[in-house]
Amino acid sequence: MKTFAAVLQQRGLPTPYAQSRPLVIEELELAPPGPGEVLVEMGAAGLCHSDLSVINGTRLWPLPIVIGHEACGHVREVGPGVKDLRPGDAVVFSFLPTCGQCPMCAVGRPALCEPGVAANRAGRLLSGATRFSRADGAAVHHHSGIAGYSQFTVAARESLVKIAGDLPMETAVLFGCAVITGVGAVVNTAKVAAGTSVAVFGLGGVGLSAVMGARAAGAYPIIAVDSLAAKLPLALECGATHTVHAGSDDPVLAIRELTRGGVETAFEAVGDPEVIARAFAATRRGGRTVTIGLPHPERNLILPALTLTAEERVLQGSYMGSSVPSRDIPRFIEPKNVSRRSGFFWQPVTTERYGRRY
């Protein structure tokens, strides 16, 4: 079948993109789903900073590629062997297909799935296939096994999480990346406890979700930091108790003053090693710094090494919110399930809260 899709042919083009136009809408051929694969009609797709990172060359996925990795839609056809999804089912995409078999999946850490990341790096589905091609037969790659900026896509069953059919697509899409990443970093990676202090650096979709996760976990105070003043009122709406404008205040000093010595957990959701170092400096003795942002692969992080040891600081990465997508996407969507079982209370999000990012 045919599908219109946004294809990235060349990375690192100069901004403004309105002039250099790195994405071109092309009509591509989409092959039918193979064994274990599913044809999905896209309902909504978001623009995460990681999409921009593919365009500007911070994330080096193979080209040409149909980008977009925060997406949801409806199943239109299932390939041989797919028994648990049917045409019409609403699904959210997981941006890492989780094989369920590899050593990391086996120990309950599917966000580190080894065949999943290998497939993503190759721009292919978990089976190794690509299903998009141009008129001359040349293959076009899939971003994170999803290719969200296409009308239709074929994805591995392992890239899909079934959700209730009544959630509007423009809300459901947030759970595919921003929410699973930000909330997951708080509740899965850091396991923030009620009454403990949190700072979040960077208030895009991911950071605002971390703020909501911290609120849901009962953290206090929740200090939201951004260099753009316009993000701060949005953070208060999402549950922050204090805000710091990194453009005019020294965020480390401000946080240390507010908390008399630093927060117990700091999250970095920018993707800049200097901000990671600042987040680290804003934690108290014994504090934990969780990195969510994805810097350029050639950038290094410089931290005071003695402090790490002598003050028992913890530095921890968080990928896809250390999530189990099939468990966490439905539980983050459904507040009642979660609050009854684990005491974790979740407020439903709306796209409004993100300043109409989608």
Ligand X SMILES: NC(=O)c1ccc[n+]([C@@H]2O[C@H](COP(=O)([O-])OP(=O)(O)OC[C@H]3O[C@@H](n4cnc5c(N)ncnc54)[C@H](O)[C@@H]3O)[C@@H](O)[C@H]2O)c1
Residue with tokens 């939201």: 224
Per-residue binding string, ligand X, 240-269, x by CB under 6 A, is ------x----------------------x
C-alpha count within 13 angstroms, C-beta hemisphere, residue 57: 8
Residue 69 CB, shortest distance to Zn ion, in Å, is 6
Residue among 70 and 264 whose Cβ is closer to Zn ion:
70
- 42 forms part of the interface with ligand X (CB under 6 A): no
Concatenated DSSP letters of 111-167: GG-HHHHHHHHHT--TTS---EE-TTS-EEEEGGGT--SBSEEEEEGGGEEEE-TTS
* CB neighbour class for 49 (10 Å; exposed up to 12, middle 13-18, buried from 19): buried
Picked from ligand X, Zn ion, none, the partner binding residue 113 (CB below 5 to 8 A depending on kind) is: Zn ion
- For residue 8, CA distances in Å to 130, 148, 164, 201, 352 come to 15, 13, 32, 30, 29
- Report if residue 226 touches ligand X, rule: CB under 6 A: yes
Is 94 a binding residue for ligand X by CB under 6 A? The answer is no
Q: Min. distance of Cβ 181 from ligand X in angstroms?
A: 4
Give the shortest CB-320-to-Zn ion separation in angstroms.
Answer: 9
Of 225, 255, 258, 263, the residue at the interface with ligand X (CB under 6 A) is 225
Q: How far is the CB of 309 from ligand X (least distance, A)?
A: 26
99 binds, among Zn ion, ligand X, none (CB under 5 to 8 A by kind): Zn ion
Q: Tell me the window of 21-29, 46-54, 145-153, 298-306 that interacts with ligand X (CB under 6 A).
A: 46-54
Exposed / middle / buried, residue 159 (Cβ in 10 Å: 0-12, 13-18, 19+): buried
Instruction: Check binding of 323 to ligand X (CB under 6 A).
Output: no
Residue 117 binds ligand X, judged by CB under 6 A = no
Using CB under 6 A, which of the segments 80-88, 151-159, 205-213, 298-306 binds ligand X? 205-213
- Distance, in Å, from the CA atom of 294 to the CA atom of 58, rounded to the nearest integer, reads 8
Peptide bond into 33 cis (omega under 30): no
Asked if 150 and 73 touch (Cβ cutoff 8 Å), the reply is: no
Of 181 and 289, CB closest to Zn ion: 181
- Closer to Zn ion at the Cβ: 37 or 70? 70
Binding residues for ligand X, how many (CB under 6 A)? 30
Find, among 121, 129, 107, 143, the residue nearest to 8 by Cα.
143
Q: Which does 201 bind (CB under 5 to 8 A by kind): Zn ion, ligand X, none?
A: ligand X
Give the contacts of 238 (CB within 8 A, at least 6 positions apart).
208, 211, 212, 215, 224, 353
Identify the CA nearest to 46 among candidates 271, 330, 355, 289: 355
Among residue numbers 157 through 196, which ones bind ligand X (CB under 6 A)? 177, 181
CA distance readout (Å), 289 to 29, 69, 196, 273, 282 = 45, 26, 14, 12, 9
- Where does this chain bind Zn ion (CB under 5 A)? 48, 50, 99, 102, 105, 113, 177
Interaction mask 273-302, ligand X, x per CB under 6 A: --x----------------xxx--------
Site residues for ligand X, window 123-162 (CB under 6 A)? none
d(CA 240, CA 279): 16
Binder among 215, 231, 242, 313 for ligand X (CB under 6 A): 231
Our finding on whether 48 is near ligand X (CB under 6 A) is yes
Binding of residue 39 to ligand X (CB under 6 A): no
Give 94's contacts (C-beta < 8 A, 6+ positions apart): 158, 159, 160, 161, 176, 180, 320, 325, 326, 329
53 binds ligand X (CB under 6 A): yes
The residue ranges that bind ligand X (CB under 6 A) are 48-50, 53, 177, 181, 201-207, 225-228, 231, 246, 269-272, 275, 292-294, 318-320
